[in-house]
């Protein structure tokens, strides 16, 4: 019976005539007509879910009263009664302006038949709720303040209601609209003050740690050969002189030994020769006795000089010491400047 009623209504729309004058840009009329025919074919199959978007797009491309009437019928079949009610009213108003009373009558009759079946949503905004800067949204769409505290027709489904205001915490709630003639009310509570987030305290300026002091400079080595080196020169010089004296005594002993030659042959010396050779042997013993301490003194002096040079700085950066050893009648003398 419903199919026959729908078919009769569609026939009535067809008899009234095609869509009214359009306001589409050139080239859109063909696209609108194509979508319109596709939508009618889908509606005949009962596929209203795909037919309704095509009718809506066809009306957008080339607005027409007939298209609106079909779109309202399609939306009603999908259960979107509020959308169908609004579409039928739009079609009736357009028909009135176009001077098409039959279509106006159809549109208003269909809208009146749905009005008692509409579900409604009322967003209650009490006076306690601060309204300065308050924004109310339904599924991200702003709800004008003139629609607050008013039961507005709405299609069944689930909706998110959200309220925001400067300095306040956002309030949101989900509401389910059932099919039928009931009115669902959502009352907004007073919005809580937003928590003040303290700005992070600036980090303290980094403390500059002074660099560690440089290691102390090594103490400069004493320059020159120093007292130890002078002592080495003196001792070594004395050793050299002693060895020289030993050599002199040895030469004297050799000369004295040669003086005995006239008094000796290959196997025998007379009394004079024996006395001369005795003197020569005594001189040679003295030379040997003197040589040993001279060698020891020379080695000791060299050792002192080496140690002094190893523990002191270069000698050329300080005044060079000068020393001289002399042999005098009273013994060995050292002279120099330091």
95 and 7, same domain (yes or no): yes
Are residues 233 and 327 both part of a single domain? yes
Angle (CA) 154 157 161, round 5°: 75
pTM for this model (two decimals):
0.53
Q: Which residues of 295-312 are buried (b: 16+ CB within 10 A; e: fewer)?
A: eebbebbeebbeebbeeb
Q: Is residue 101 part of a domain?
A: yes
Residue 211 lies in a domain: no
User: Same domain for 111 and 7?
Assistant: yes
Query: Do residues 93 and 149 share a domain?
Result: no
Structural domain ending residue among the three candidates 94, 115, 136: 115
Report how many domains make up the chain.
3
Domain extent, residue 62, equals 2-115
Instruction: Please report whether residue 218 resides in a domain.
Output: no
Spatial distance between the Cα atoms of 264 and 271, rounded to a whole number of angstroms? 9
Does 192 fall in a domain? no
Cα 137 to Cα 119: distance, rounded to the nearest angstrom: 19
For residue 331, what are the β-bridge partners? 328
Q: What is the pLDDT along the chain (338 residues), one digit of tens a residue?
A: 444 444 444 444 544 444 443 444 444 899 999 999 999 999 999 999 999 999 999 999 999 999 999 999 999 999 999 999 999 999 999 999 999 999 999 999 999 999 999 999 999 999 888 678 899 999 989 999 999 999 999 999 999 999 999 988 999 999 999 998 899 999 999 988 888 777 788 888 888 888 888 888 776 666 666 676 677 677 777 777 877 877 777 787 778 777 767 878 767 787 777 777 787 787 778 778 877 886 777 787 677 667 766 676 555 444 555 555 554 555 555 555 54
C-alpha to C-alpha distance for 87 and 155, rounded to whole angstroms: 13
Let me know whether 99 and 126 are in one domain: no
- 176 and 260 in a single domain? The answer is no
């Amino acid at each position: 019976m419903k199919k026959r009623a729908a078919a009769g209504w569609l026939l009535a729309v067809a008899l009234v005539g095609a869509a009214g004058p359009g306001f589409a840009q050139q080239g859109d009329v063909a696209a609108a007509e194509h979508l319109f025919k596709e939508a009618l074919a889908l509606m005949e199959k009962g596929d209203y879910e795909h037919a309704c978007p095509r009718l809506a797009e066809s009306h957008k491309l080339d607005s027409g009263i007939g298209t609106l009437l079909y779109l309202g019928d399609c939306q009603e079949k999908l259960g979107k009664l509020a959308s169908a009610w609004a579409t039928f009213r739009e079609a009736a108003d357009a028909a009135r302006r176009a001077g098409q009373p039959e279509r106006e009558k159809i549109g208003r009759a269909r809208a009146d038949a749905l009005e008692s079946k509409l579900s409604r949503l009322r967003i209650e905004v009490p006076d306690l709720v601060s309204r300065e800067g308050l924004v109310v949204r339904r599924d991200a769409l702003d709800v004008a303040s003139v629609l607050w505290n008013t039961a507005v027709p709405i299609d069944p489904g689930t909706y998110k209601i959200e309220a925001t205001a400067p300095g306040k915490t956002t309030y949101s709630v989900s509401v389910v609209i059932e099919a039928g003639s009931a009115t669902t009310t959502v009352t907004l509570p007073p919005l809580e003050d937003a928590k003040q987030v303290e700005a992070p305290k600036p980090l303290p300026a980094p403390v500059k740690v002074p660099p560690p002091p440089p290691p102390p400079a090594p103490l400069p080595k004493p320059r020159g050969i120093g007292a130890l080196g002078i002592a080495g020169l003196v001792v070594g010089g004395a050793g050299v002189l002693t060895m020289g004296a030993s050599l002199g005594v040895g030469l004297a002993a050799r000369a004295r030994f040669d003086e005995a030659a006239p008094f000796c042959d290959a196997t025998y010396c007379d009394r004079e020769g024996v006395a001369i050779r005795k003197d020569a042997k005594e001189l040679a013993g003295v030379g040997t006795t003197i040589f040993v301490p001279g060698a020891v003194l020379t080695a000791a002096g060299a050792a002192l000089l080496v140690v002094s040079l190893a523990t002191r700085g270069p000698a050329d950066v300080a005044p060079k010491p000068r020393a001289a050893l002399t042999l005098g009648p009273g013994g060995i003398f050292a002279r120099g400047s330091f």
